[in-house]
């Protein structure tokens, strides 16, 4: 599987994501600077990392969503390429219009940084195929703006179409309908606030995040 | 030429920061506040000939997120 990690100014989980992809896919991802206008040929997966790109100025993800590389990312996503956005990457995907809704300041105003329980709401996506539907997993979060919001019609549509992939199984940030991760209508773009790349090794606290990448390898080659 | 763009959350969108300000004002003894909404003020210095439509395009493409926010433009 050939993957790329997009690096924005202020990304800080790009290396974690690269290590996870290298260890699990067996091939180091290409690190792509946000100022590039083209992506490498033949990518199977494009990953947008966590962090505080542009210092979260204006709105989290707002600046990065307008950076030069995003034109190519949007085109690839619309072409059916798998795109994964973690934390700030999820915020960038909503700001870029690839996913509906927005991520607002956590309802409690606190920065939340701890492991949380997630329920797998849909295991029929390329990102969640290695999980069982209804399974509870443990994945860390670290964010200030993870409070997912969208209008009621959008939330109903997301739920009706099985596009909610992960839900919080405990109170975390006030997200509408406990949404932690959603996919686009095509199922090839996932955004989630929790960090699966941080929990890929039992020696380092757990491996519930590992199966996301293992499922991607199985689906994408 | 200047423009002042006021970005506010749409009605109905929960504003956790506005709620915290409301609570803090109550804690200071200001009992007469019935609601607080926090927004942003963005001041733009513009070249002559820039139109309100140009500023509206800036709002739609970057300054506001139409999913959760509305904006108001004042030219001066």
Q: Which of helix, strand or coil describes residue A151?
A: coil
Tokens 């997630």, located at residue? A118
Q: Is B59 on the interface with A (CB under 8 A)?
A: no
pLDDT at B76: 85
A149 with B13: Cβ contact below 8 A: yes
Q: What phi, psi does A204 have (nearest 5°)?
A: -115, 30
CB A212 within 8 A of CB A130: yes
Q: Is B14 on the interface with A (CB under 8 A)?
A: yes
Is the sign of the CA dihedral A147, A152, A153, A158 positive or negative? Answer: positive
Cβ contacts of B38 within 8 Å, gap of 6 or more: B9, B15, B17, B18, B21
User: Tens of pLDDT along A1-48?
Assistant: 999 999 999 999 999 999 999 999 999 999 999 999 999 999 999 999
Confidence label for A86 from pLDDT (cuts 50, 70 and 90): very high
Q: Please give the average per-residue pLDDT across A171-197, as a whole number.
A: 98
Q: Please give the average per-residue pLDDT across A88-109, as a whole number.
A: 96
Which of A102, A107, A108 minimises the CB distance to B68? Answer: A102
Q: What phi, psi does A152 have (nearest 5°)?
A: -60, -40
Whether pLDDT at A136 is above 90: yes
Q: What percent of chain A has pLDDT over 90?
A: 98
Q: Which of helix, strand or coil describes residue A185?
A: coil
Q: Tokens for A98, please give them.
A: 């690839």
CB A158 within 8 A of CB A164: yes
pLDDT at A201: 94
Whether pLDDT at B14 is above 90: no
- Of residues A33, A113, A122, the one with CA closest to residue A70: A33
Which of A95, A105, A108 minimises the CB distance to B65? Answer: A95
* Complex ipTM: 0.88
Distance of CA A30 to the CA centre of its chain: 18
pLDDT at A183: 98
User: Tens of pLDDT along B24-76?
Assistant: 999 999 999 999 999 999 999 999 999 999 999 999 999 999 999 999 999 98
Confidence label for A209 from pLDDT (cuts 50, 70 and 90): very high
- Of residues A176, A177, A172, the one with CA closest to residue A194: A172
pLDDT at A221: 81
Q: Is B17 on the interface with A (CB under 8 A)?
A: yes
pLDDT at A85: 98
pLDDT at A116: 98
Q: Please give the average per-residue pLDDT across A88-104, as a whole number.
A: 98
Q: Please give the average per-residue pLDDT across A114-137, as a whole number.
A: 98
Q: Cα A176–A179–A185 angle (5° rounding)?
A: 110
Confidence label for A68 from pLDDT (cuts 50, 70 and 90): very high
């Amino acid at each position: 599987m050939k993957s790329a990690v997009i690096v924005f100014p202020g990304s800080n989980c790009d290396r974690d994501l690269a290590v996870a992809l290298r260890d699990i896919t067996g091939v180091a991802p290409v690190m792509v600077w946000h100022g590039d206008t083209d992506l490498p040929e033949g990518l199977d997966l494009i990953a947008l990392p966590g962090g505080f790109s542009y210092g979260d100025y204006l709105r989290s993800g707002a600046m990065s969503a307008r950076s030069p590389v995003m034109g190519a990312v949007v085109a690839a996503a619309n072409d059916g390429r798998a795109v994964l956005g973690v934390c700030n990457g999820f915020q960038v995907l909503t700001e870029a219009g690839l996913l509906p809704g927005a991520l607002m300041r956590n309802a409690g105003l606190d920065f939340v940084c701890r492991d949380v329980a997630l329920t797998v709401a849909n295991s029929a996506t390329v990102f969640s195929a290695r999980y069982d539907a209804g399974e509870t997993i443990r994945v860390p979060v670290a964010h200030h703006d993870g409070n997912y919001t969208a209008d009621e019609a959008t939330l109903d549509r997301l739920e009706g179409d099985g596009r909610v992939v992960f839900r919080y199984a405990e109170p975390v940030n006030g997200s509408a309908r406990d949404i932690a991760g959603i996919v686009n209508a095509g199922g090839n773009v996932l955004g989630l606030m929790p960090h699966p790349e941080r929990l890929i090794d039992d020696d380092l606290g757990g491996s519930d995040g590992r199966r996301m990448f293992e499922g991607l390898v199985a689906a994408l080659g | 030429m200047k423009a002042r763009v006021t970005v506010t959350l749409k009605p109905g969108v929960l504003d956790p920061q506005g709620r915290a300000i409301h609570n803090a004002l109550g804690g200071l003894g200001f009992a007469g506040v019935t609601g607080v909404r926090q927004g942003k003020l963005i001041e733009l210095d513009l070249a002559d000939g820039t139109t309100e439509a140009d500023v509206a395009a800036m709002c739609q493409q970057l300054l506001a997120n139409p999913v959760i926010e509305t904006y108001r433009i004042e030219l001066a």
